[in-house]
Every structure is written in C-alpha cells, then in structure tokens.
A and B are shown apart, each in its own frame.
Chain A
Amino acid sequence: MNLLENIRISFRALAANKLRSGLTMLGIIIGVAAVVALMAIGRGATRSVTSQVEGLGSNLVSVSSARNLRQAGAGAQSTPLHYSDYQAIAQGTNNVNGISPTYQTSAQVLYGNKQSQFSITGVTPDFAEVQAYTVDQGRFITNGDNAAESRVVVLGSQAATDLFSGLNPMGRDITIDGINFTVVGVLEAKGSTGFFSTDDVILIPLGTGYSRLFGGRALENGKRTLSSIALSASDPNAVDAVISQVEYILRREHGLTLRDTLPFNVSSQSQALSTLTSITTTLTAFLGAIAGISLFVGGIGIMNIMLVSVRERTREIGLRKAVGARRSVILMQFLVETITLSLVGGILGILLGAAIAGAVTLTGLITTYVSLDVILYSFFFAALVGLFFGIYPAYQAASLRPIEALRYE
C-alpha cells in the first residue's frame, strides 16, 4: 500500500462526488485567492511608496539639530550645527558625492508691487546634486558667487511662477528683506514628492546670506551656524558608514564622548523609507490575516464535509478493515483525500488570486505584485489547513471498529 495508490483511491472518491468536492474546494479556493490577491495589492502599494521615497534622492544622509525634548518648554535650547562642522565633515568623510550645508530662514520677498513671505535657503553648489535639482534656465549658484558674496538668486519653478506670474524672471531683480538680488537661474519642476513641495524654494549663496541677510540669527557666540547638512553617499551600501563617520566627527567637534547623547539627528533616506515600508508591510500583513480567516473558514468546510463523508462511508471503511486494511492505511486514505482537496483548491486559488491581482493592475489603480513567497506560503498554508482539518475526520474513520462499521446502516 503506497502513497500513489492512496492518491488514486482519494481521487476516485473525490471524483465520485464532483459537485460536493467542488463546493468544498471552493472554500479553499476563495480563501487562498483572497490571500494571494490582497498580498499582491499590499506588496504593490509598498513598492510604489518605496519608489516614491527613492525619488526624493536616494543615498541621502541628512544632519540637523535635534530638539532637546527633556528641556522642552523651559527655554528649550538646541545645539546648533556650525559652519565649522560642515568643514570638518567635508574633510573627514569619504564615499561622499556631495555635501550641501544650508541655512534656512524666512524673509519678505518683493517684486514690483508683489510681496510675500518666502523661505530663503542659503546653499553651496553641491545643493543641486545632493537634492537632485536640475537647472531649467540660466545657471546654479557657484563657488564664485559664494566667495564674492554676490547678490544672486535661483528660484524654484513654483516660486518663479508665484513671483513673476509668467514673465521671464531671468536677469530681473527681486528684493529680499530690502536687499536687491538678481535672478540668475530657475530650477526645473521636481513635482511634489508626497508630503512636501520642493518647487517653491528660493536659493541664495550661503556666503551672501551670512554677510548680508541672515545677520545675528545665524550666529552663535560669533560662530556661523547651519540649519542642516545633507550628504549624498556614493553608494547605497556606503550610507551606514557615512552616518557613523559624520556622528564621530560631530562628537569630536562638539567635545562629546560616546556616552553623551548626540544633540543632532543623522538619518538616511533609507531610515525614512524603512518607517514607511514598515507601515505598508503591517497593512499588508493585516489584509493577509483577514484573508487568512476566510482560508480558515474554508478549512472548517473541508472538515465538515469529511466528517459527513466518513459517516456515509462507514460500511466501506468497515469492509476495508475486514479485508485487512490497517488503521494507519485508513488514516492515510482520508488524510490524502483532504490534502488533495486543499492542495487542488490551493493551486486553483493561487491562479484565481493572481488573475484578480492582474485585473486590479489593469484598472490602473495600483500596480500589484504577486511574489513567489506569497504563492509558496499560500500553497503550504493550504496544505497545512488540509492536514489540520483532515486529521480529526481521518482519525474517526481509522478508529471505527470493523464489526460495528460493517453493521452500520
């Protein structure tokens, strides 16, 4: 009595009652299809979030002052980044493509009779590369601008539209907090990436900012301060190394030991990404779990039918035992039957689920992603459901006493 013969007997028994077998399987088919389709949708959502965040500039490491939460309220004092920190970082890190120190403030911007409050950012030439901006018209801020403390300005595409409403801004003068700046460039639109718009920036040379615009706000004990420093690592794998180099340099520059809490945030895009990914992953798992419940219900359906089937075939079981079938053989026969039901149901469910996912993709709402691991998990989970819910009916069948089973009417 080998497995192959057992499978043959099971198929015959299942084929004998096609409608019933089909309906029983339907529970598993729907359950597995729901798991596969929902997981595909969830994975698709995760992927689209990931690619959006990566569009912000991958390999990005940003450094900023940490708010001191413990002292919050009572004159919360955060340790500012110094311009000298930037210089130290620029010297002490490797595997870095660009370092962009920035100082950000808000100011009154005036063109003609149009006046409004804008966020002004003092930058160096690396800003464009690190933040993945490209110049649409004119040029970007140069090292020369910084050194000469030139009064030039580069506008984000949205800021240009807001200020000049269609006029070509190139070469025109705008007034920032009463100081005249000449527009030398306009950036290409990046589009709003998720939560914040990146096209309403107004960029001036950092050096010009310190000497003419920021004034005392940008000084701490006579030292120039920065709002943030952004670095782009040469390789995604170098990001972690860059972070630890930067942290080391900041501790050294500010006289901190390893035991002190670093008063700066040094974080990578991938960390922000992992936070977002963990949210979508949790949602996906949640959807999968709900679908799993329907798979479980399908399993109960199988068990129910198998119990009825064992009852119906009591005489058959009695006869098989009377002609020499051992307990284990009967157990296997019924177990193979339930596992066959659940596995065939599982395969059909995977196909149906993939088809549903494909249909969702076609609607254009979301690009679903059917991954192999989900297919394998569903397959094994379906088999497990068959095994779990098959054991009790099979055990009942195997435990029948032949003499009573034969007399069963």
Chain B
Amino acid sequence: MIEIENVTKIYKMGQSVVHALDGINLHIGAGEMAAVMGPSGSGKSTLMAILGCLDIPTEGVYRLEGEPVEKLNENQLAQVRSRKVGFVFQQFNLLPRTSALENVMLPLLYDGVHGKARTEKAKAALETVGLADRMNHRPNQLSGGEQQRVAIARALVNDPTILLADEPTGNLDTKTGEEIIGLFQKLHEEKGQTVVYVTHDVFIARHTQRIIRLVDGKIKSDERVAHPLAAGTPRPEEAIEMQPN
C-alpha cells in the first residue's frame, strides 16, 4: 500500500539547509490504522505532505499502491490526490460561505464527477459522518466538531486509498477530539480504510494499531499497539499529554 524507501526531504531556507526527513523507511499495509507522533519540527507534517502527494521527496522512493509517485508530474499528482488521497487538516480548511454539501462535493468537481452522481456521493459521505441533517449549513453555522466532520466527509467522498489526518483534533476540545478519533475508528473498521493519523496526544494515538515516533526527521520508534482503545474509553487521570515542546 504505502512503501517509503530512504526518503529524504531537504528544504533550503535562505542559506541554511533543513533536512526535514532524513532517510526514512516505512511500510504501511492496506487497512492499517497508524498514528504518527513527534515533537514540532520532527518532520511529521513533511511526511504527511509526501504521503498525501502534496510534495515529492528530494531523494528516495515513495510507492502508493505500487506506483512510484516521485516520477509523476504536477497534473498527475493532482489526479492522485483527487482519487487516492483523503486529507483532513487541523484547520478544517472548509470554503467559507459554501454549504457543507458543496464543500464535500469539491473533490468530485475536480475529478469530473457530474450532476446527480456528485450530489448522491456527497450526501452519502455526509451521512457516514452523521451530518445528513446539516448538509445545507455553511461552516460558520456549524460547531468545530461538525466542521471537522464535514472535512472528513470531504476526504472520504472519493473513496480514497488512504485517509491522512494531520492533527485533526488539535483545534477541538478533548471530548470532541475523542468523537473524531471514534469516527476514524469506525471508518477503519466498517470500510477498511487505511488511516494515517498525526497527533500529539498519546491517549488519542493509543486508539490506533500502530504508533510511529519521529524525531529530527528520523523514525525513532515504530510499535504495535497491543490493545487499541475503543472509542468512548474514559481518559485516565494520569494520561500524559505530549505537549509540543
């Protein structure tokens, strides 16, 4: 599914050179649900950008479903993003003054899905995230959790191969955050979605099957979670939240 070999990403910022990713090897199988953790500047977001085909590695190979992504041109990358990748961001990135339904239809618009098929698929995605009754609301009429669920519906609508979430609960209170991770678990279990989930929160991360820790652009640890927490598990008092710095 996802195969990353010796991937390096170098940014040039003025005179200095930043190794955002430094020779990473990573395989994530189909239907896996993995969490990526790490302090700020550890390369999490860069990794997500490369996984989501928003960026290409400076060196190394990234194969998505066997297809080497780094060889694709800009338009081919756009097509991969529209068909194979669903992205959920920390700032929901919904279009303002645009209904939930139309926000969800956006990827279909760019993939050339027209007319009724487009509306039906978008409605189905909104139903999946439990917002069927809110689809004509605009983002400013929705709560933060609802907005993020619209964003998840948008990520889902084109049946992507992988669902990437970059700190989707970062802007939400803990209770809503737990609802969101529950939603991802549901998608993973019911639809068999592959999910890669970036978080600072160990408690949230333990809801997944696998925790990958990044430090300074390298993988520090990659562990299986023996017993992923079920959604709705009360947060233990002593749970340590990993704060950014």
Binding site for B on A (CB under 8 A): 1, 5, 12, 16, 315-316, 318-329, 401-403, 406
Contact = CB atoms under 8 A, between A and B. Distances in A.
18 contacts: A1-B110, A16-B97, A316-B95, A318-B93, A319-B95, A321-B78, A323-B81, A323-B106, A323-B107, A323-B110, A323-B154, A324-B78, A324-B79, A325-B82, A326-B110, A403-B49, A403-B55, A406-B89
A406 to B, nearest CB: 7
A54 to B, nearest CB: 61
B109 interface: yes
B75 A327 contact: yes
Given A323-B82, A324-B81, A325-B78, A406 B110 contact: no
B87 A327 contact: no
Contact of A12 (B83, B97, B112): B97
Nearest to A326: B78
B106 A320 contact: yes
B98 interface: yes
B140 to A, nearest CB: 13
A119 B109 CA distance: 86
Given A12-B97, A326-B75, 9 more contacts: A12-B98, A321-B54, A321-B81, A322-B52, A323-B87, A323-B107, A324-B82, A324-B107, A324-B111
Nearest to B75: A326
B74 interface: yes
Contacts of A402: 54
A322 B74 contact: no
A225 B197 CA distance: 110
Given A316-B95, A327-B74, A322 B87 contact: yes
Contacts of A16: 96-97
Interface in B98-115: 98, 106-107, 109-112
A126 B95 CA distance: 84
Contacts of B106: 320, 323
A324 B97 contact: no
A320 B106 CA distance: 8
Given A321-B78, A324-B83, A329 B110 contact: yes
B9 to A, nearest CB: 11
Interface of B: 49, 52, 54-55, 74-75, 78-79, 81-83, 87, 89, 91, 93, 95-98, 106-107, 109-112, 154, 158
Contacts of A12: 97-98
Contacts of B82: 323-325
B49 A320 contact: no
Contacts of B55: 401, 403
B154 A403 contact: no
B66 to A, nearest CB: 20
A403 B164 CA distance: 14
A242 B49 CA distance: 84
* Cβ-closest 8 pairs across A and B: A324-B82, A324-B110, A323-B107, A403-B54, A326-B78, A319-B93, A325-B110, A403-B49
A319 B151 CA distance: 11
A315 B111 contact: no
Contacts of B109: 1, 5
B78 A1 contact: no
A97 B110 CA distance: 75
A320 B110 contact: yes
A315 B93 contact: yes
Contact of A322 (B79, B81, B91, B111): B81
Nearest to A402: B54
Nearest to A15: B97
A180 B110 CA distance: 100
B243 to A, nearest CB: 21
A323 B49 CA distance: 13
A172 B93 CA distance: 103
B157 to A, nearest CB: 9
Contacts of A328: 75
A125 to B, nearest CB: 83
Contacts of B154: 323
Nearest to B82: A324
Nearest to A323: B107
Contacts of A323: 81-82, 87, 106-107, 110, 154
Contacts of A322: 52, 54, 81, 87, 93
Contact of B93 (A1, A326, A327, A406): A406
Contacts of A320: 106, 110
B112 to A, nearest CB: 7
A313 to B, nearest CB: 10
Nearest to A401: B55
A27 to B, nearest CB: 25
Contacts of A326: 74-75, 78-79, 110
A318 to B, nearest CB: 8
A320 B79 CA distance: 12
Nearest to B106: A323
Contacts of B112: 1
B96 to A, nearest CB: 8
Contacts of B75: 326-328
Contacts of A5: 109
A98 B74 CA distance: 80
Contacts of B110: 1, 320, 323-326, 329
Contacts of B78: 321, 324-327
A321 B106 CA distance: 10
A5 B110 CA distance: 11
A177 to B, nearest CB: 94
Contacts of B87: 322-323
A135 B111 CA distance: 85
